[in-house]
Structure 1
C-alpha cells in the first residue's frame, strides 16, 4: 500500500513514499527556494528513487497547516491534482502533529511550533501513547517567549521542534525543563506526515478534496494589510 506524502508547511520541501510502517524513500531539502519551483521535482525524484510509477500509489498524505500560506496552498493543490488524476484518496495531516513524530518517546511532551510572525508561534503540545500521539494542548497562537515560559512549568520535560524554535534557541536555553530538538529532528518532514497518515488510511479517514482547505489559524499579513487599506479608503470616501 504505497502512499506519497507531501510537506510544504515551511521552507522545507519534502516528498516521501511509505507503505504500512515502512519508509521506502524520502527527498528532503531545506533551502530558501519557492515550493512552486521544487515540489514537483521532488515528487518525481522520490518516485524514481523508490523505483515506482505514480500509478503504483494508493493514496496521498499532505500536511494542511498551520504554516506558510503560499507553501500550504502549493502542497494541497499538488495533492488534489494527483488525487484527481490517479483516482486515489487524500489524507490530511496537521503540520504540528506530524512534527511530533520526531520524538515517539514516553514521559515527555513535544511542543510543535511554527512561525506565526511578529514574535508569535503556532503551538500545540503532544504526548506519545505507545502507538500515536495524544494532543495535550490544541493548536493556538502564542507569543513564543510566553509559550516557552508556559511549557517550562509543566509536569514533564518538553522538547521544542519547529522553525521558530530553531530561530529562537537562545530563549529555550534560558529556561529549565525545556530543550530544543536536534537539527535533523526539528523541522517538518514528509516522512513524519506519512507515519501520521498511515493509521488514517487504514481507518478510511479520507478527505473530501472538493472542500479540503489549508488550516491557517490566522489570516495572512497580506489579508490584514488589505483590510486596513480598504477600511482607510472607505473612511476617506465617507469623509
Structure 2
C-alpha cells in the first residue's frame, strides 16, 4: 500500500488466495510501486503489521520490511496487527473486537474503542479460547463489532449469539479482514507521535509460543523424566 504525505491512498493490493507470502510479497511490492507511480527511492517510511498472527507470515513480512528500511535508510514502524484491524473500522460508541486465529479453538483478541479521532486500547492482546471470549463479549454494556479471520471462522457462533439477544455484530465484508491501508495510516500516525523502531531489533509480537516450541519443551521434559 502506498500513502502520500497528506494521507492520500495511492494504491493498495488486497488478495485472498492460498499463495504464501514468500511467493507473492516481493512481486506485489514491485507491482504496487508501479501502480502508485512511486519510485522506491522516494519512500519515506515502511509500516509493517507486527503481529500477533501466523508465525511464518510474520517472519517473512517483517524480514522483507526490515530489509527495505535498511537498504533505503528510512524509518520502520511495527504496527500491532489487532490495532490495525480495529483502525479500519470507524465505529464510534461501541467496542471493537479484532480477533485472529490462534489455533485449537483459541484466538488472539484485543479490545478498542474510538475517542474522537483517536483509537484507544481497552484491553491488550491476549490468547484465549473463542468460547470464553464470546461469553465475555456478549456481557459488555456497549455494542461489540467483531472482525478478523477468527470472526469469519466463528461467524455462525457470533450470529447465534446475536440472534439470542447479544449486542454483537460482524464488521462488514470490506472491513472484516486486515487492510494494508489501515496498517499504513496507523503507522503514519505512530510515526508522527515519534514512534520509530530499529530495523535491526524489531521483532514480531507473537503473544504465544509456536507449536514447535511447545512440542520441543514437552519432549525435553519427557527426556529429563526418563
Band the TM-score falls in, shorter-chain normalisation: over 0.9
**Who is 2:175 aligned against?**
185
The secondary structure found in structure 2 opposite 1:184 is coil
Gaps of 5+ in 1: 1-15
| TM-score normalised over the length of structure 2 | 0.94
Q: CA deviation at 1:24?
A: 1.1
With normalisation by structure 1, the TM-score equals 0.89
In the alignment, what sits opposite 1:43? 29
Counterpart of 1:154 in structure 2 is 140
CA distance in 1, matches of 2:17, 2:215: 28
Q: Does 1:117 align with 2:76?
A: no
Matches within 5 A, 1:1-239: 16-19=1-4, 20-175=6-161, 176-236=166-226
Q: CA RMSD in A?
A: 1.1
Contact 1:148 1:178 in 2 (8 A): no
For residues 50-95 of structure 1, the C-alpha deviation after alignment (integer angstroms, 9 at most, x for no partner) is 0111111000000110000000011110111001100000011100
Contact 1:63–1:93 (8 Å) recurs in 2 = yes
Higher strand share: 1
What is aligned with 1:3? none
Deviation at 1:235, TM superposition (A): 2.9
CA distance in 2, matches of 1:217, 1:199: 24
CA–CA distance in structure 2, aligned partners of residues 33 and 182 of structure 1: 24
Please give the alpha-carbon distance, in whole angstroms, between the structure 2 residues aligned to 1:125 and 1:107: 13
> What's the CA shift for 1:231?
2.3
Matched length: 221
Distance 1:227 1:101 in 2: 37
Offset at residue 132 of structure 1 (A): 2.4
- 1:204-239 CA distance string (max 9 Å, x none): 311011211000000011111111122223333xxx
Match of 1:8 in 2: none
Which residues of structure 2 form unaligned runs of 5+?
none
Please give the secondary structure, in 1, of the residue aligned with 2:109.
Answer: strand
Structure 1 moving runs of 4+ over 4 Å: none
Secondary structure of the residue aligned to 2:15 is strand
